[in-house]
Amino acid sequence: MEGAFKGFGPKAIPFLKALDFHQSREWFLENRDLFEQELRDPFGDLVDTLTERFAKADLGLRGDRKKSLFRINRDVRFAKDKRPYNRHLSAILSPDGTKMEQGVFYVHIGLERCFADIAWWQPEPALLLAMRKAIAAKPDRFRALVAALKKNRLELETEGRMKRTPRGFEHISDADLVAAIRHRHFVVQHVIDPAGIHTADLVDELVDFTLRAKPLLDWGRAIEGKVLAG
């Protein structure tokens, strides 16, 4: 039944554990109803409910219960790891509702961990350069962003940060700005307690996180707007 999110089923994580153990199309097809009832359909409800709540909060993020979810199947064509199924299920809500935008909300329910991101992940070169130039040219604005995130109990993730300063920014000497310019992504993350995925309270938790991450959305969107206008 489609509708408001009421929580993932009690067998959602056990299903992922069993799927990861079997890694078999035959097993998956035999248990497809369980996947749909415990994971996929509730995830669709979560996307719909968050879309409604994000609209009310004017966050500029939306999704579609079918198009926003990533497939449970892995693309193994060019992978050394030939296991056919992921150990997680995930979805993206974005400014236009597609998976092609930047400045997105990403939610991940998996065996290793459950989390949500507000992310500018692998932005195209022109946008990444513009973000780095914005840090260098308007350091006070970037530091205000960092301070706002810290006040909201968030900080930029450092995963994938370059070890060396990119060409053209060698003149930057302030350690905090150098570290920021070395970012390949601009992401803040909220860790979800797996025990908390089974109730409707997860929606409030994720809306609260996104509101706390809004300074990053605003900063990135302002820069992106200038890139697109140019």
pLDDT digits (tens, 9 = 90+) for 130-152: 999 999 999 999 999 999 999 99
* Segment 64-88 mean pLDDT: 89
* Segment 186-193 mean pLDDT: 98
Q: Please check whether residue 1 lies inside any domain of the structure.
A: no
Query: What CATH number is attached to the domain comprising 89?
Result: 3.30.930
Number of domains observed in the structure of the chain: 1
Inter-residue contact 99 to 56 (CB < 8 Å): no
Q: Please check whether residue 49 lies inside any domain of the structure.
A: yes
* Segment 163-175 mean pLDDT: 96
Distances (CA, A) of 80 to 75, 76, 77, 125: 11, 8, 9, 28
* 102-133 tens-digit pLDDT: 999 999 999 999 999 999 999 999 999 999 99
On the question of pLDDT at 229 being above 70, the answer is no
pLDDT at 12 (0 to 100): 97
Distance CA 206, CA 5 (A): 12
Distance CA 187, CA 175 (A): 19
pLDDT at 80 (0 to 100): 80
CA of residue 195 relative to chain centroid, distance: 20
Q: Please check whether residue 2 lies inside any domain of the structure.
A: no
Look up the domain containing 35 and give its range.
12-229
pLDDT at 1 (0 to 100): 44
pLDDT at 230 (0 to 100): 58
Q: Please check whether residue 5 lies inside any domain of the structure.
A: no
* 8 vs 77: which has the higher pLDDT: 8
